[in-house]
Amino acid sequence: MRLLFDQNLSHRLVSALADLFPGSQHVRLLGMAEAEDLSIWDYAKSHGFIIVTYDSDYADWNKLRGAPPKIVWLRCGNTSTAQLEAKLRQAADRIQLLGDSDLKIEVLEIL
């Protein structure tokens, strides 16, 4: 399961969570730091990533367009990178459920 971290998240999360989500990326590391959200959506869809974001637009698009990509929507407010890493680690089992096509989970909200 590979995550694609949006611009509003630290690129350090890629290495911090590599033990749980190997092959994950950050839009900045892909040269997409200034990319429009729809371009990021299309990239995630065509490359098999799950988008991790604070941005509600992705969840809205998911309702209109469906998955893929699936979305981890962070609704915990601005927190430090360390706190965010801890929240994602705590939610790792739930995030892994996004890979189970039988469950039909498309957006996972983390509070």
The rounded percent of the chain whose pLDDT value lies above 70 is: 100
What is the rounded distance in angstroms from the CA atom of residue 94 to the CA atom of residue 9?
A: 20
* 84 Cβ contact list (under 8 Å, min separation 6): 9, 10, 13, 74, 76
What is the pTM for the complete model shown? 0.96
pLDDT class for 80, splitting at 50, 70, 90? Answer: very high
Domain total in the chain: 1
Range of the domain at 89: 2-110
Statement: residue 63 has pLDDT above 90: no
pLDDT class for 62, splitting at 50, 70, 90? Answer: confident
Instruction: List C-alpha distances in Å: 7 to 64, 73, 82, 96, 101.
Output: 22, 13, 17, 22, 27
Q: Are 51 and 44 in contact (CB under 8 A)?
A: yes
